[in-house]
Amino acid sequence: MNRKADISKDAALAMLRCMLLARRIEERMVRLYHQGQIFGGVYTGIGQEAIGTATTSAAGPDDLFAPCIRDMTVHVGRGTTALTIFRQFLGRVTGPTRGRDGNVHYGEIERGVFSMISHLGAMLPVVTGGVMARRRLGRDTIGFAYIGDGGTSTGDFHEAINFAAVLDVPVIFVVENNQFAYSTPTSYQFRCKNLVERAAGYGIEGFTADGNDAWALRELVSKLAAKMRQQPRPVLLVCETLRMRGHGEHDDASYIPRELLAAWAKRDPIALLRERITQAQFATATELAALEQAVQTEVDESYQQALNDPLPDAATLTEGVYADG
């Protein structure tokens, strides 16, 4: 099938760069974790990169995002640099949390990205409220709220969707169904066959998508976003994928069947997008290799630069923890 007309060359290559950058950053974090250079845990989105990539690629500049634990591609897709990310994970004072948190709990609100907090589901009502507020100011904002399959069992998930449905707040509730919440498979998490069935209970539309196919997902999300700007309302979007590593790097994921991992490894989102790009003749093998090399250089240089930045001074640790005034 010639899919050339649906996505521009620039958009396709930007998506590939986003996924590669997130993957290379996370691979570096994994290595650093095992070398004992990262103080906290490392929780990656390796294998799930298509979801944050396609949704940010289809979004507009004034949209709002509440990323979750595995959404490095949401940050990268909104323009957060590798340098900022290394500063955060290496606990540098120059990072978004000024070295107070060396983990996934950060965001850059100037890019429309709320900071993630540990409590699953808690940011869903916040992004819903943020979208409402911006729209009342006359802005054309829609929201993207990300949650894992496990997080859909929280009250916040229900409250946010119900609230958005009743008040017609245009938020895409993106469920990243990676089939496990820590070691708990989805069969122990909910009775319905597919989480998308829940949409009917809120009186909203629901969609299930292949969470590893960035190209197709972007097409779907672009259509949904355009419709939601015309006629504001929330939708539920369930993206099917698999968590390819442990919950965090401390976990060997021995409870995930090896055959399941092997089957999903054949559907790696980066390889799939590369294939689509090649089919559409958007880039030659040489150009793709150059893109890979540029991403690797960016990661290496950003890591080195962040290492040179200072750690916070212990005497100032209570500063910047609460809002001023």
Ligand X SMILES: Cc1ncc(C[n+]2csc(CCOP(=O)(O)OP(=O)(O)O)c2C)c(N)n1
Order of strands, sheet of 64-66, starting from the edge strand that comes earlier in the sequence: 64-66, 143-148, 171-177, 235-240, 205-210
Write each residue from 154 to 193 as x if it is in contact with ligand X (CB under 6 A), else as -, in one continuous string.
x---------------------x-x-xxx-----------
| DSSP class per residue in 56-94 | HHHS-TT-EEE--TT-HHHHHHTT--HHHHHHHHTT-TT
Which range binds ligand X by CB under 6 A, 113-121, 193-201, 267-275, 278-286? 113-121
Using CB under 6 A as the binding rule, whether residue 125 contacts ligand X is answered as no
Using CB under 6 A as the binding rule, whether residue 115 contacts ligand X is answered as no
Rg of the chain over all Cα atoms, to the nearest angstrom: 19
Q: How far apart are CA 235 and CA 143, in angstroms?
A: 10
Min dist CB 242 to ligand X, Å, is: 10
Using CB under 6 A as the binding rule, whether residue 52 contacts ligand X is answered as no
Min dist CB 57 to ligand X, Å, is: 21
Q: Which is nearer to ligand X, 70 or 92 (CB)?
A: 70
Q: How far apart are CA 174 and CA 148, in angstroms?
A: 8
Per the CB < 8 A criterion, the answer to whether 74 and 234 are in contact is no
For ligand X, the nearest residue by Cβ is 148
Q: How far apart are CA 290 and CA 75, in angstroms?
A: 23
Q: Which is nearer to ligand X, 92 or 247 (CB)?
A: 247
Q: Which is nearer to ligand X, 134 or 247 (CB)?
A: 247
Using CB under 6 A as the binding rule, whether residue 112 contacts ligand X is answered as no
Using CB under 6 A as the binding rule, whether residue 70 contacts ligand X is answered as yes
Single-letter amino acid code for the residue at 261? L
| Binding test (CB under 6 A) with ligand X, winner from 47, 52, 99, 148 | 148
The number of CA neighbours under 13 Å toward the Cβ of 266 is 5
Number of residues that bind ligand X (CB under 6 A): 18
Report the DSSP beta bridge partners of residue 184. 181
Using CB under 6 A as the binding rule, whether residue 8 contacts ligand X is answered as no
Site for ligand X in 226-255 (CB under 6 A): 243, 247
Sign for the pseudo-dihedral over CA of 254, 255, 257, 261 = negative
Using CB under 6 A as the binding rule, whether residue 149 contacts ligand X is answered as yes
Q: Which is nearer to ligand X, 153 or 305 (CB)?
A: 153
Strand ranges, E, within 234-304? 235-240
Q: DSSP class of residue 312?
A: P
Using CB under 6 A as the binding rule, whether residue 47 contacts ligand X is answered as no
Which range binds ligand X by CB under 6 A, 73-81, 112-120, 228-236, 305-313? 112-120
Single-letter amino acid code for the residue at 5? A
User: How many residues would you count in the chain?
Assistant: 325
Q: How many CB atoms lie within 10 A of CB 53?
A: 31
Using CB under 6 A as the binding rule, whether residue 194 contacts ligand X is answered as no
Min dist CB 10 to ligand X, Å, is: 30
Using CB under 6 A as the binding rule, whether residue 120 contacts ligand X is answered as yes
- Which residues of the chain form contacts with ligand X (CB under 6 A)? 69-70, 118-121, 148-151, 154, 176, 178, 180-182, 243, 247
